[in-house]
Amino acid sequence: MKEILFIRNNIEKWKAIEALVDNINSVMPDRLADAYTDLTSDLAFAQTHYPTSRITIYLNNLSSALHNEIYRNKREKWKRMITFWTQEVPDVMWKERRLLFLSFAIFMISVLIGVVSTLGDESFPRLILGDGYMDQTLENIAQGKPMGIYGSEEEGVMFIGITLNNVMVSFYTFVTGVLTSFMPGYSLFQNGVMVGCFDTFFYQHGLLSECLLTTMLHGTLELSSIVVAGAAGLAMGNGWLFPGTYSRLVSFQRGAKRGMKIIVGTVPLFIVAGFIESFITRHTEINNYVRLSIILLSFAFVVFYFIYLPYKRNYHLEDANRKTKD
């Protein structure tokens, strides 16, 4: 790459890093770390291709300045716990918004496959959900308690078991990204087919509305979190597959770091979903409007936190940067 093209492609980024150095106290630690990684990568490239150039000296000085400021402000502030949820998670969701959409698309296509497969083969639910679950559910339907399975355990035990299971499912979806992006996609596929199969089974028994009003009480948060966890796994997997200008290891580490933030961001949702499933879902006698209100509030929160807030915090900033480059 010619030196002038290298400078033209990166000058705005370097100016932004200069601004970070000047306002170090107001910048999130992880943003500083990402900026330092980018800058040292550019410095290494310049040292290799333009060892005697003034741009190499400039990048070396800027890297030193940023390094000094980072370690001068190394101590974490108490407000990090708050800013993690209000700033860092939304910001990383914005960076990975395309992967979030991809994760959602994979999940919904898988749900459709589950629906079509169940409609086409009456034995399919037993293959996906298991004979034990199917037999118990059919017995509950015959007794007039189609959602009776949600009241089969003591609330506290159920809450702990469900919450731990859901968190483990999300971490599994994320960790499989170590084996490239295909494995998180497969995990999303499994969950989507199961959901499509489950809902279609109740539709075939004339119980779809009761099924949705019951399961989506907790499922709105739970399934949304699984989709978000899928995006985290895809982010880590893409680090292996698409390293860009970074080494494959550095790219993987960056993807894993972003993915881990996303996963941690879903844990409170799984806890709330587990609480709802254990203590509220079992009460099918609750008024349908109350249940629908809980579902809509949960959906509104998911859209606000994982879509609107990231957009609000980042879109105008990126738009301004694009106009500056133009």
Q: pLDDT of 165-217, one tens digit each?
A: 888 888 888 888 877 788 899 999 999 999 999 999 999 999 999 999 999 99
Nearest to 99 by CA among 255, 316, 311: 255
Q: DSSP H helical segments within the chain, as ranges?
A: 3-22, 29-49, 54-72, 80-83, 89-95, 97-120, 124-129, 131-142, 155-175, 182-204, 208-241, 248-279, 288-303, 309-325
Model confidence over 255-282: pLDDT tens digits?
A: 888 899 999 999 999 999 999 999 999 8
pLDDT higher than threshold 80 for residue 233: yes
| Poorest-pLDDT segment among 26-30, 142-146, 250-254 | 26-30
Question: How confident is the model at residue 72, as a pLDDT?
Answer: 64
Model confidence over 279-317: pLDDT tens digits?
A: 999 888 899 999 999 999 999 999 999 999 999 988 876
- From the CA atom positions of the chain, what is the Rg in Å? 24
Question: How confident is the model at residue 149, as a pLDDT?
Answer: 84
pLDDT-based confidence at 324, cuts 50/70/90? very low
The H or E element that residue 50 is part of is none
Classified as helix, coil or strand, 144 is coil
Question: How confident is the model at residue 113, as a pLDDT?
Answer: 97
Question: How confident is the model at residue 24, as a pLDDT?
Answer: 64
The DSSP code for 85 is I
Nearest to 277 by CA among 108, 162, 191: 162
Q: What is the mean pLDDT of residues 218-240?
A: 92
Question: How confident is the model at residue 16, as a pLDDT?
Answer: 84
Question: How confident is the model at residue 295, as a pLDDT?
Answer: 97
Classified as helix, coil or strand, 319 is helix
Model confidence over 68-122: pLDDT tens digits?
A: 777 665 555 556 678 888 888 999 999 999 999 999 999 999 999 999 999 999 8
Confidence (pTM): 0.76
153 vs 301 pLDDT, higher one: 301
Q: What's the mean per-residue pLDDT of the chain?
A: 87
- Percent of the chain residues past pLDDT 90, beyond the cut: 48
